[in-house]
Amino acid sequence: MKDNRWYALLIPVGLAVVMAPMILLAASGNGGGFDAVVHGIESRYHARATRIPFMALISGIAGLSTHGGVRGLHVATIENLEGPVDGAELNALVEQRVGRGWQRMIRETSRKGSDQTLIYVKPDGDRMGLLVVDLDGHEMDVVQVSVDPDHIDDDMGHFRHPHGRAKDQPDPDNATMAEKESE
């Protein structure tokens, strides 16, 4: 008889332990970011976003190949938007949906207004979140990624223009074979 009482107590406690993290995660979200922006665009423009298949796998590979420089990659594309998209309206929609902590860094709009790019950033500890919304005529892409600025700088260093280098630093692309072999 005593054993049955323990089961009656263990089942609710076990469920509470299992469900607590999910409930806390759901309650702690501020409703912003990638999913909120994509859902807002889908609702406003009556379009369906296509999520890229196997994005978690691709994000994991990106994290490994950049030694942790890039992770948390999310991509959605929306094709065949009906009618013109008002740039000011899109900007307001994204601003409303992006959530707390995100700040618009760039808003670029073509002269005709059919192309627009919005780039938002959000500090995330020692990392930086980037959210890019790119409208190209009747197609739109939404991308969110978390980057480590130090790793990105390491990876992007060899793409710098020579004028950005200090005068006493050698150009690694023009190093002689002897210099490369000595390293």
SS3 call for 82 = coil
Cα dihedral sign, 166-172-174-177: positive
Whether 16 maps to a domain, the answer reads no
Whether 18 maps to a domain, the answer reads no
Q: Please state whether the predicted TM-score (pTM) of the whole model is above 0.95.
A: no
In order along its 183 residues, the chain shows pLDDT tens digits of: 556 666 666 666 665 555 554 444 444 445 688 999 999 999 999 999 998 888 888 888 888 877 778 888 999 999 988 888 888 999 999 999 999 999 999 999 888 878 999 999 999 888 999 999 999 988 999 999 998 887 766 656 666 666 655 555 555 555 544 444 455
**Rounded to 5 degrees, what angle do the CA atoms 174, 180, 183 make?**
135
Whether 89 maps to a domain, the answer reads yes
Whether 49 maps to a domain, the answer reads yes
Domain count, the chain: 1
| DSSP-derived secondary structure letter, 131 | E
Whether 50 maps to a domain, the answer reads yes
Whether 52 maps to a domain, the answer reads yes
Whether 178 maps to a domain, the answer reads no
Which residues span the domain enclosing 49?
30-158
- Listed residue (154, 141, 100) closest to 123, CA to CA: 100
Whether 164 maps to a domain, the answer reads no
